[in-house]
Amino acid sequence: MSGGEEVILHVGYPKSASTYLQQCIFPQLGDQSNLAPESRETKMLPFLADMDPEVLRERAGACRVPGPEPGRRHIVSCEDWVELWFRGIEDLLLRAAELNGLDPTPYEPRNARIVENLARTWPGAKVLIVVREPLAWAISKYRMHYRHHQTSAPIEELLVPELEGYDGTVARFREAFGADRVRVVPFEWILEDPQRFAEAAAKLIAPGATVRAPHTPSNQGALYRREVAVMRDKAHLKQTLRPTGARATLAEKARYEAARFWVKTVHRARYALQYGNRRDRVVVPESSRKELRPVLEACSRRLSEMTDIDFAALGYGG
């Protein structure tokens, strides 16, 4: 950190109002380095055993956007800098990296490694962690990866075995950065009262600052089954048929564009007839909920003890 500048790390969780914070709230509170749209190689740097802190600082600096008081506060946001609860969900993250040309072998998205790397990069930073009811979070993550044709498995196959939960994540960050410098905010607050949610984040980042919380839905997934089916077909084409590199021929490019046109027209019409206005719904079977309930209840209890927030009342017991 430069002299007098305060760094705030927004480390997760994904699918927990990250886009809303990055677009609507953080710009009101300080300079922001939003790493969400950056390359996977950049976002996954903290997963490396031999990560160079200077490289991560440089990457964050390269996408820094000045806020209302340039140089006073630096918010570094990447919602993937946490362990992802379930091994199957984590595997989808690594598969997505592989599909985008990044060898996932050197990367290990474990809290112990992530926290150590971030503490070496920005010692003394504040840490914002947004959590979400675990099964609702898993469904949202699953739907995203399903839309991108990165899985076809039913969700229950991805929910075991469990990795480190919210309580373990928060405990590690508190140990590394100090309990008073780590703030946990429930995603559910934004559903009840966006202003309350925004002020809870602002209380850590810029105590006493006035923040305006617009009622703007951000980054919502497809609502209808017909839309999801088209998105999956487009993603599959991109993975299997899209020409890449300088050696791609005109014939290959034409074939890909023709296939995309076919999906956007013929497939779209077919799915509209097949699914109509059927909503896209994913349900965790009761058998899986029952199996996970003891873990979720224990996590909820420990998290409440650390934060004085009643997570059981928010449905975190499974």
Same domain, 59 and 111: yes
Same domain, 101 and 229: no
Same domain, 144 and 30: yes
Domain range for 242 is 225-275
Rounded-to-integer distance, Cα 305 and Cα 261, Å: 54
Same domain, 145 and 242: no
Strand order in the sheet with 31-34: 64-65, 31-34, 73-77, 6-12, 126-131, 182-186
Same domain, 168 and 98: yes
Same domain, 166 and 293: yes
Residue 1 lies in a domain: no
On whether the CB atoms of residues 49 and 101 are closer than 8 A, the answer is no
Same domain, 200 and 69: yes
Model pLDDT, residue 217: 63
- Number of compact structural domains in the chain: 2
Residue 35 lies in a domain: yes
Most confident of 123-137, 213-227, 239-253: 123-137
259-276 tens-digit pLDDT = 999 999 999 999 999 999
Same domain, 80 and 164: yes
Same domain, 231 and 215: no
**Domain of 292: which CATH number?**
3.40.50.300
Q: Is the pTM of this model over 0.75?
A: yes
Give the rounded percent of residues in the chain with a pLDDT score beyond 70. 97
191-229 tens-digit pLDDT = 999 999 999 999 999 999 999 999 876 556 778 999 999
Residue 105 lies in a domain: yes
Model pLDDT, residue 246: 75
Cα–Cα distances in Å, from 80 out to 266, 280, 285?
36, 25, 26
